Structure 1
C-alpha cells in the first residue's frame, strides 16, 4: 500500500531557498513549534514612520518531494522549486514564510520520520506544530490581521491552520488539493490515513474570508476534484483561471491574480 502513496510537485531550482531568500533581502530564523523546529523567512520591518499595511501575509509551501519513486520514500522532502516562496517574493505586503516540520534542512532532526511527509503530511501533529511556530513568531498580543496563503498542499494546511490560529482574517489557496480523498482517488494513490481532510471539516467561521484559485489546465488537482469542499464551504469564493495549470503561470501573474482579495480588510 505504501507504494501507492502520493508524491508531490518538484522541478529543478536554480537557487536554494536560502540563497533565493537572501538575494531578496529576507531574514532567516528558526522558530520552535510543538516538538519541531520550523524555518522562517520574513521581510524586515519597514523604517519608522513608514505607512505599513495593517495585515501580514503568511505563506505556506507545497508538499515538495515526499517520494523519490513510487516505491521509495524521500529522505528529505524539501521542494527543489519552492513556488510559494517565489510568490511571496513578489508580494509587496509584510510577509512571513513558514516551513513545515522536517523540511528545509530538518529532515533528520529528532522526531522526524517519513510518515510526516507522506501519509501524515496534513495530520494534527503537523498542523499543531505550525500553529505553535506562528504563535511564537507573531505573538497574539502584537499580531496584525493574518492572511494565510498556501500553494498546493500548503493550501490544505492553510485551511486546517485557519480554524486553530487566532487572528486569521482570510485564506487564499493556489492549486490546492482541498479534498485529499478525491485527489488520492483520482491519481490511484492510497489515501493519506494520518491526515485531516478540509472537505470533511466543519466550515470556517464565515468572518474568515476565503479565496480558492485553480487553473483550468491543472491535471495534478483538476478543478472538479474539490467539488465536495465547495459544497461544505458555501461562503468561499472560487476562481478558475483560464490557461493556468498546477505551476503555470502563478508566479508571473502574482499578486495581480488575487487582486483586491489579497489585500487585508480594514479593522
Structure 2
C-alpha cells in the first residue's frame, strides 16, 4: 500500500498535521477504521498477507492536559516516537490510534473525559478491541504482538486480555499501575479507567515483556513492584538504558530481535 501523497488540508498547522507529515515521511500508509462508534486512525508499513503475525503499535496519551487545570482541545501526540519505532520494526506492522484522537476530538460521542480521566475506560478499550478484531477477521491475521508505549501499554494490556489472537504483549515505559502512577505525580485519580494492577492476571498464553528506562522519572519500574509481586514470573520486567521518551529508538532493533514470537 502506497504512502499518502499529501497531508490532508484539515490537518495542516495542527498537531495532527505534524504527526501525519512524519508518518508520510516514513512511508507509512494512512487509513481509518470504524469501531465501537468511533473512527480510529491507522498507519501501516505494508499490506498484510493472510496467515501472518501482525505487530500492532499503540501510542501514549499524547496531550490530555495543557496545564493541571486546563484540558487540551486536541490530545493527539506531538512526539512521533511510536511511528519511528514502527518504521524500525518487522513487517507487517500497524499503528492504531485512539478514539477522539487524530482530528476526531469533535466527532459524535467524543468528550474530553475520553482523553483525561477516562482515557483507559471501557468505551476506549472496547472500541480498540473491536477495531483489532475486525482487522484480524478481514485480513486473516494469525497472531498479534501488541507493542504499547507509555499509556498505550495500559491499553495493550487490556487488548491482550480480550483478543485471543494476541499472544505477545510488549510495553515500553508503561504506567501499568494507574494508582501508583497517579499518586507519584499527584494527579487526580483516573476515575472510570480500567487499572491493570487491580484487575485479573493476564490470561494464559500471552507472553509478557515490560520494558522500563533506567533514567525514566515519569514511569520508573518501581511503580510496578506490586504487580510483579502479585502476578509473579509471568510479569517479566527488563530495564533499558533509556528515559521516558529518550533512548528507545537506539535500543529498539536489538529489543525486537530478542523477542521470541513462537
- Same fold by TM-score, threshold 0.5 exceeded? yes
Q: How does 1:70-149 map to 2 (within 5 A)?
A: 70-139=68-137, 142-149=140-147
1:28 alignment partner, one of 27, 30, 42: 30
TM-score (norm 2): 0.89
Residues of 1 paired with 2:108 and 2:166: CA distance?
A: 30
Residues of 1 paired with 2:151 and 2:219: CA distance?
A: 10
SS at match of 1:172: strand
The answer on whether the counterparts of 1:150 and 1:176 sit within 8 Å (CA) in structure 2 is yes
2:47 alignment partner, one of 45, 61, 70: 45
Q: Which runs of 5+ in 2 are unaligned?
A: 1-14
Greater fraction of residues in helix: 2
Residues of 1 paired with 2:250 and 2:106: CA distance?
A: 34
The answer on whether the counterparts of 1:202 and 1:232 sit within 8 Å (CA) in structure 2 is no
Q: Which moved more, 1:168-177 or 1:90-99?
A: 90-99
RMSD value, Cα: 2.1
* Deviation per residue, 1:93-135 (Å, 9 max, x gap): 2101000001111111111100000000001110000011112
Aligned to 2:210: 212
Residues of 2 paired with 1:140 and 1:228: CA distance?
A: 39
Large movers: runs of 4+ above 4 Å: none
Cα–Cα, structure 1 residues 92 and 141, in superposed 2: closer, same or farther, change >3 Å? closer
Q: How does 1:54-65 map to 2 (within 5 A)?
A: 54-65=52-63
The answer on whether the counterparts of 2:135 and 2:141 sit within 8 Å (CA) in structure 1 is no
Aligned length: 248
TM-score (norm 1): 0.87
Q: Which runs of 5+ in 1 are unaligned?
A: 1-12
Aligned to 2:5: none
